Amino acid sequence: MAEKKTGAAKHSADYRGRKKAEAERFGIERMQVEMAAGTREGMAGAMKAHGYTQLQELLQNLHRSFLAASPEEQARRLQQPSAPAFEISPKLARQLEQASRVELKRDPGDEIIPPDGARCI
């Protein structure tokens, strides 16, 4: 036996139906976006700095801006920044050399002695 809907349940169902029809009429799609916490915090900062109160509004403006750009500009915006090459600073090299010397004094025998007789670590 089917249960009868209460007035509130009927109203809720009607409301959801109207919202669904409106979204279809305007071509609105729901899309779930997952983002890292750091990205979300950065977006919150940008929203505050530029007077946005809703993330959806900011994202829609970013989408429209991207779509209005030329194909070349879109390609430029989509390029991932390359990770800088890892470089060992002189300070870090000195720290590593000093730590190596301390370790060799603690446990001798692992030194590398080149054929010409000069000592290396």
Q: Determine the pLDDT at residue 53.
A: 92
Cα separations in angstroms, 73 against 26, 64, 65, 81, 83: 28, 13, 11, 15, 21
Number of alpha carbons in the 13 Å side-chain half-sphere of residue 82 = 3
Q: Determine the pLDDT at residue 89.
A: 87
Q: Determine the pLDDT at residue 63.
A: 93
Mean pLDDT across 83-111? 82
Q: Which residue has the tokens 């870090």?
A: 92
Query: With bands split at pLDDT 50, 70 and 90, how would you rate the model's confidence at 119?
Result: low
Q: Determine the pLDDT at residue 70.
A: 96
Per domain, the residue ranges of the chain are 36-76, 89-121
Q: Which residue would you say has higher pLDDT here, 65 or 35?
A: 65
pTM: 0.47
